[in-house]
Amino acid sequence: MTEILKILERIGISPDEELLFEPISSHAACWEGFGDVETVSDYYEAIQCYIRTVALSFAEKGVKFSSLDGVMISPFAEIGKGTVIFPNVQIRHGVKIGENCVIGAGSVIENSTIGDGCVINATQIYNSVLDENVKIGPFCHVRPNTHLCAGVKIGDFVEVKNSTVGRDTHASHLTYIGDSDVGERVNFGCGTVTVNYDGKNKFRTVIGNDVFIGCNSNLVAPVTIADNGYTAAGSTITDDVPENALAVARARQVNKDGWVIKKKQRDAGK
């Protein structure tokens, strides 16, 4: 470990920096002409040896790795015993991960706290806090200033930004939650969007406990959905929804009987 640190110092990299996560091109000038590190191959060998040494130091403390391929961990991260890390994971500076978590392949975590028992699958998390037993992924983006409380489930293709999401709330797929205060046991239907930006300013959405948001709902902030409120699928909500109310904000369907037959007859007559 000491020798690797010396090599890193010679090529201009400090182990407490984010530089390990940057491409080789950003360090091209660092390794040229430095004794043992004279080629790109030498550079990569030094970096990979260092990364492996760091990973093995966590393994000795009870962290499990399915493979070390592509795994990059800051030596200053904190990772609890029993946590399993899969390939191609980056755990960057300022990260604290609890016990018995699963960090799935392709995940990136930076400056965030992850509680015990969380499952993170192919997700990027920045400057956020996840309480215990949160499940995320795949292909999610947790942006800065997000707090996901215990038992939250964030599914595929969901983005959360600058929001607090209460216990046992589910957003299972294709949802944007931005600048929002979300209560407990809320269900977001597929395609829900908190419309937080009017082209100039950002506004917040407030959602109470036990709320059901129908699929393809647009919640145009600033707006509040009170406890136990429902929104009908396909609604664009611009006014507050009272407690225990169902909000329907969409055009009414009209069925025109026989319209297709008449259309085909007109087309045939051309």
Q: Which residues are catalytic?
A: 173
Any residues with CB less than 8 A from the CB of 79 and at least 6 apart, and which?
58, 61, 63, 73, 85, 91, 95, 97
User: Among positive and negative, which fits the CA dihedral 28, 105, 188, 100?
Assistant: negative
- Residue 117: CB atoms within 10 A of its CB come to 20
Place of tokens 């006014």: 239
Q: How open is the CA angle 252-258-260, to the nearest 5 degrees?
A: 90
Residue 47 burial by Cβ neighbours in a 10 Å radius (0-12, 13-18, 19+) = buried
Task: Please tell me the distance from the alpha carbon of residue 144 to that of residue 156, in angstroms, as a whole number.
Answer: 19
Task: Please tell me the distance from the alpha carbon of residue 132 to that of residue 119, in angstroms, as a whole number.
Answer: 10
The stretches of 36-159 forming alpha helices (DSSP H) are: 40-59
